[in-house]
């Protein structure tokens, strides 16, 4: 019998415990539900935009990604 041990199972257990503590409070469950609902709405909006005009959507996403990359590069340059 092989016995699995290591950091990963311990990490998974710690995350599961932290999640259980977090979600045991009703306020936290409500906050999480709001965040999930907001995320679903954003995904639906993006999906409908992509269906309408895939080429324009791809250009828009590429432009946003480039802008984000530039911001990250600027932060890295400043930290060096």
Q: What is the pLDDT of residue 3?
A: 59
- 71 lies in some domain: yes
- 1 lies in some domain: no
Domain count, the chain: 1
pLDDT (tens digit per residue) in 28-48:
999 999 999 999 999 999 999
pTM of the model: 0.56
- 16 lies in some domain: yes
* 3-state secondary structure string across the chain: CCCCCCHHHHHHHHHHHHHHHHHCCHHHHHHHHHHHHHHHHHHHHHHHHHHHCHHHHHHHHHHHHHHHHHHHHHHHHHHC
- 59 lies in some domain: yes
Domain that holds residue 25: 7-79
Q: What is the pLDDT of residue 1?
A: 46
- 2 lies in some domain: no
Give the burial class of 60: count Cβ atoms within 10 A of its Cβ; 0-12 exposed, 13-18 middle, 19 or more buried: middle
CA-CA distance, 75 to 29, in Å (whole number)?
Answer: 34
């Amino acid at each position: 019998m092989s016995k699995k041990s290591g950091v990963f199972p311990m990490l998974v257990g710690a995350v599961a415990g932290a999640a259980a503590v977090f979600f045991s409070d009703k306020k936290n469950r409500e906050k999480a539900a709001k965040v999930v609902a907001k995320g679903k709405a954003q995904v639906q909006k993006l999906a409908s935009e992509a269906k309408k005009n895939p080429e324009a959507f791809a250009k828009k996403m590429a432009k946003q990604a480039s802008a984000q990359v530039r911001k990250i590069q600027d932060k890295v340059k400043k930290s060096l």
